[in-house]
Amino acid sequence: MSNIISKFLKSSLFSSIGLAILGLLLIIESELTIVTISYIIGAILIAIGVVAIINFINDLNKNIKNELNIVYGIGMAILGIIVICNPKGVASIIPFILGILIVFNSAAKLEYSLELRKENNQLWGSTMILSIIALLFGIVLIFNPFEGAEFITKIVGIILLAYALIDIISTLRIRKTIKKVQKVIEEHTIKEADVIEDNTDSTKRPKKEKEDQE
């Protein structure tokens, strides 16, 4: 269980660093960043479409007909071209997608803060506050009440940067707590092992003394 939590926290830390970099880029170079993201997303969609079309052609050579592949492939390729040709459209979708990701991640951190509260851990309060603030950032991005493409992009960048910094702090605090708990458990396990070993030795000694006397 601790390994699963550690992996989750590690992925959360790396994703937050990535979002912080993305936030900075959106603040400093809004238009260029959006265009670059559009090209990357568009290229991925086109690549998926081309692979589906190739699979359809390969299936034809094997006398297998799967019309779904050709429809899916052409649809994805067209969608990729639309994304590349319309960066502003992507700019309006990105806040929504990022907002959903932030809400899910913050909800997981919020749940963990409740677990810390049950264990009477002092970090539960600050972890909960940071999670709620991050959750609010995510909700703002989902509903996106701002107007103006460039203004939206800069606001999204500021929110992403703020969220990333909060999440990094929260993640590092949680990791520190987990390491302390693991250390306590390991020390307790070692002590229990020593006690069992001592008890085993004490039961063996009388038997050995009795055998020597015989």
Give the three-class secondary structure for 120.
coil
Phi/psi at 134 (5° precision): -65, -40
Domain membership of residue 88 (yes or no) is yes
Domain membership of residue 213 (yes or no) is no
Domain membership of residue 205 (yes or no) is no
Q: What is the pLDDT of residues 153-171, one digit of tens each?
A: 777 788 888 888 888 887 7
Domain membership of residue 212 (yes or no) is no
**pTM of this prediction?**
0.56
In total, how many domains does the chain have?
1
Domain membership of residue 204 (yes or no) is no
Q: What is the pLDDT of residues 57-115, one digit of tens each?
A: 887 777 666 677 788 888 888 988 888 888 777 777 777 887 888 888 888 888 878 88
CA nearest 34: which of 89, 96, 98? 89
Q: Which domain does 124 fall in, by range?
A: 2-192
Domain membership of residue 152 (yes or no) is yes
The segment with the largest mean pLDDT, out of 9-18, 116-125, 157-166, 175-184, is 157-166
Domain membership of residue 208 (yes or no) is no
d(CA 12, CA 117) in angstroms, rounded, equals 21
Q: What is the pLDDT of residues 49-66, one digit of tens each?
A: 898 888 888 877 776 666
154-177 as b/e: b if 16+ CB within 10 A: bbbbebbbebbbbbbebbeebbeb
Domain membership of residue 65 (yes or no) is yes
Token reading at 110: 């919020």
Distances (CA, A) of 60 to 47, 63, 108, 162: 20, 5, 46, 52
